[in-house]
Structure 1
Amino acid sequence: MSQVLHTPPQSTPPPSRVTQAGDDLTALAVRYGLSVSGARPTLRTYVSQLWARRHFITSFATAKLTAQYSQAKLGQIWQVMTPLLNAAVYYFIFGVLLGTKHGVPDYIPFLVTGVFIWTFTQSSIMAGTRAIAGNLGLVRALHFPRAALPISFCVQQLQQLLFSMAALIVILLCFGIPVTASWLLVIPALALQFVFNAGVSMVMARMGASTPDIAQLMPFVLRTWMYVSGVMWSIDKLSTKDHLPRVVSVLLETNPAAIYIDLMRFALIDSYHAGQLPAHVWPIAAGWALVAGVGGFIYFWKAEETYGRG
């Protein structure tokens, strides 16, 4: 004799009752000041949170800089040796073999300054690309504004540049470059470049967080950017040639990397005069810093709640 068991159907509350319960929970959360965990704060709140953690940003940058060459026997000396070795290679290939040094006064100071300033931008962007994807443990373990990571990596690269500037000054003095009042222009030029680098780094940090493969592509992009930024050759000298279209000359001269390199050369090298700078160079430099800095920050902030998820 078979026995059939009938399972009574489960009753579901009416939609109105579910909606009422959800409204009650929302009201209860508002009453006690509760908010969604990990929700994106307002832009003003986000800036305040970031400023409150400014000591963490600088300390994190200093710690990363100290640990960068901790396993090497020469230690922090590599901070200076790496760009100098790159400059030596570029001098042999471009200055000697390709002859780009001809017609460029003080070519070695010209080249070394370009390499040092370009390395600041290149390293900041590469570090920013991996800022989130390479620090997921920190992102998932602690609650803090994620923009602190790409900014701290830019601070690290600025610290490294300032450390390397001692070698640059020695090279300038050895080649007879006098110390002049124009050297003070290094401060605003580096400040504008730092804002630009930080903005681009935040853009790349957001893109790298969702697509880690971008980190593999960036070295090729940055190498191409370097070749058109006048690191090893004079954009002004090339732009005066008749065969170069005017639009190409304008693009080369207003290239942000070239702008900041030109400003540093103008500040430090006495033979690099104002006539070699593009027109309105300081407004262009400030404009690039404003667009990249503000735009990159807002672009990064809009995806704040997605970092470390998945």
Structure 2
Amino acid sequence: MSQPESAVADARAGGRKDGTPSPGKESLAQLAARYGLRRAIARPSLPAYLRQLWERRHFVLTYATSRNISKYSNSALGQLWQVLTPLLNAGIYWVMFGVILGTSKDIDNYPAFLITGMFVFTYTQRAVSGGAKSISGNLSLIRALHFPRAALPLAYTVQELQQLFISMGVLGVLVLVTQEPITWAWLLIPVALLLQTMFNIGASLVLARIGAFARDMNQLLPFIMRTWLYSSGVFFAIGDKIHAAQLPGIVSDILYMNPAAAFIEVMREILLQRHDAPPWIWGVCVFWAVFALLVGFWFFWRAEERYGRG
């Protein structure tokens, strides 16, 4: 009989044949320690957890790709919807805010301004929303297989990143159509997207843990995202609106600290020649990217043992 089997037999018998004290008087933790046993789902150290996640990078990529393929498999336009959706939203906002409310009057090249804001915000919105449902929506997979649970929200972000590559190609064409020139600043686009992706991963990890245990999050998330959209300067210039409302300049600084607004402003500064963003906006993006990624991984890892239970 193996050592673990002997431990179980001792526990059931209530004593041992050699006359030593009965293990029934020991706690399960003491019994497991005496026989060198440990929990199968014990949370590994953070460095070990990151190594396990890296070892499953192929699973993350394959899972994200398969979701992308299946997501639009039943629609006639297929993958085009990933571009058409933000474009249609931009068209609606252009009519409502640009034409009816006259927001476009004080903004140079408002179509490119609006489309850039929609594409950048949609990337974060989809990644964070998908991450929030990544654990609660995959309980059968979590309970059937042993793997780092962070692979799921990470895969959802990779899925949106794959879609973004197509969207950015379309965005570049649309910006050129509006007579914006190609400049050396365009070389910074990958840097801006890297920072935004780091933030998206961290934010999706945070919401994945919250969504795993607070089921009402899925009902609140649309309202949270809508509020975030309206406060991120997607269809209006934050500085101009604050100035027009005669509010203190500190209010616009606070709104620019919003991570979604910061990433939008950086991309507009890169693509739109006549757009002026605050000089410190890149620093805000770097801060949110690093802070969200570090805190997100730590926060998610702390509950690794609890996902899929109960």
Matches within 5 A, 1:27-66: 27-29=34-36, 34-66=37-69
Q: Shift of the alpha carbon at 1:28?
A: 2.1
Task: Name 1:286's counterpart in structure 2.
Answer: 286
Please provide the CA RMSD for this pair: 2.0
Q: Shift of the alpha carbon at 1:279?
A: 3.5
Task: Name 2:239's counterpart in structure 1.
Answer: 236
Q: Shift of the alpha carbon at 1:21?
A: 8.3
Task: Name 2:125's counterpart in structure 1.
Answer: 122
Q: Shift of the alpha carbon at 1:242?
A: 6.5
SS in 2 for 1:132: coil
Task: Name 2:296's counterpart in structure 1.
Answer: 296
Question: CA-to-partner distance for each residue in 1:156-190, whole Å, 9 max, x for gaps?
Answer: 11111111112111211111111111111111111
Q: Which amino acid aligns with 1:199?
A: G
Task: Give distance in 2, aligned partners of 1:222 and 1:289.
Answer: 19
> Structure 1 residues 38, 106: CA separation in 2 closer, same or farther (over 3 Å shift)?
same
Task: Name 1:3's counterpart in structure 2.
Answer: none
Task: Name 2:112's counterpart in structure 1.
Answer: 109
Q: Which amino acid aligns with 1:80?
A: V
Bigger shift: 280-289 or 259-268? 280-289
Contact 2:32 2:38 in 1 (8 A): no
Matched, 1:269 2:272: yes
Task: Name 2:308's counterpart in structure 1.
Answer: 308
Matched, 1:221 2:224: yes
Matched, 1:156 2:159: yes
Identity %: 46
Of 33, 39, 42, which aligns to 1:26? 33
Unaligned stretches of 5+ residues in structure 2: 1-13, 16-20
Task: Give distance in 1, aligned partners of 2:199 and 2:290.
Answer: 7
> Structure 1 residues 21, 247: CA separation in 2 closer, same or farther (over 3 Å shift)?
closer
SS in 2 for 1:88: helix
Unaligned stretches of 5+ residues in structure 1: 1-11
Contact 2:243 2:249 in 1 (8 A): no
Task: Give distance in 2, aligned partners of 1:281 and 1:206.
Answer: 29
The 4+ residue runs of structure 1 with deviation greater than 3 A are 16-25, 239-242
Q: Shift of the alpha carbon at 1:20?
A: 5.7
Task: Name 1:9's counterpart in structure 2.
Answer: none
Matches within 5 A, 1:247-266: 247-266=250-269
Task: Give distance in 1, aligned partners of 2:69 and 2:303.
Answer: 31
Question: TM-score scaled to structure 2, two decimals?
Answer: 0.90
Of 86, 89, 96, which aligns to 1:83? 86
Q: Shift of the alpha carbon at 1:240?
A: 3.3
SS in 2 for 1:80: helix
Contact 2:256 2:281 in 1 (8 A): no
Task: Name 1:71's counterpart in structure 2.
Answer: 74
Task: Give distance in 2, aligned partners of 1:285 and 1:168.
Answer: 21
Of 17, 21, 32, which aligns to 2:22? 17
